[in-house]
Amino acid sequence: MSQPQSHYGDGHHQAQRAAGRTAVTLAKMSSHIKIHITPADLNDLGRAILQAQHALDAASVNSALKNEDASHILARITLVDAKANALLVASDYLAHLSADLIRQVNELRDIVEPTDDTDL
């Protein structure tokens, strides 16, 4: 039995390939979020911020003055910085993938909706 002929031609294949590339990028984004920006990561950052806020309350600052040691305050702030930077790196990669996604969907649009200059 022979295979039916495609009625869509090369444009159909180009659109399918372009859509496939876009789907791959979306899958990369989804996977990256699951691994690098989990709800637990966001909760950890929130918890670290709360601990840093407590480290800056009056009693904590007075203790640092009395003991001439602010290392516990610095440690809390450093933890917030580290967690925020980890999310920044993960988000930066998502922004990179997003730029790829926009480019790919524009390519797909150009295939699906070719410009017709015959009216000019």
Looking at the domain assignment, is residue 120 inside a domain? no
Could you tell me the pLDDT band of residue 11, with boundaries at 50, 70 and 90?
A: confident
Looking at the domain assignment, is residue 104 inside a domain? yes
Nearest to 93 by CA among 8, 36, 19: 36
Tell me how far apart the alpha carbons of residues 103 and 100 are, in angstroms, rounded to a whole number.
5
Number of folded domains that form the chain = 1
Looking at the domain assignment, is residue 118 inside a domain? no
Looking at the domain assignment, is residue 6 inside a domain? no
What's the domain range around 54? Answer: 13-112
Q: How much is the pLDDT for 114?
A: 82
Looking at the domain assignment, is residue 7 inside a domain? no
Q: How much is the pLDDT for 115?
A: 79
Decide if 83 contacts 7 (C-beta within 8 A). Answer: no
- Condensed to tens digits (0 to 9), the pLDDT of residues 77-116 reads 999 999 999 999 999 999 999 999 999 999 999 999 987 6
Looking at the domain assignment, is residue 4 inside a domain? no
Looking at the domain assignment, is residue 117 inside a domain? no
- Condensed to tens digits (0 to 9), the pLDDT of residues 13-57 reads 999 999 999 999 999 999 999 999 999 999 999 999 999 999 999
Any idea what the Cα angle at residue 111 is, between residues 109 and 114, rounded to 5°?
Answer: 90
Looking at the domain assignment, is residue 1 inside a domain? no
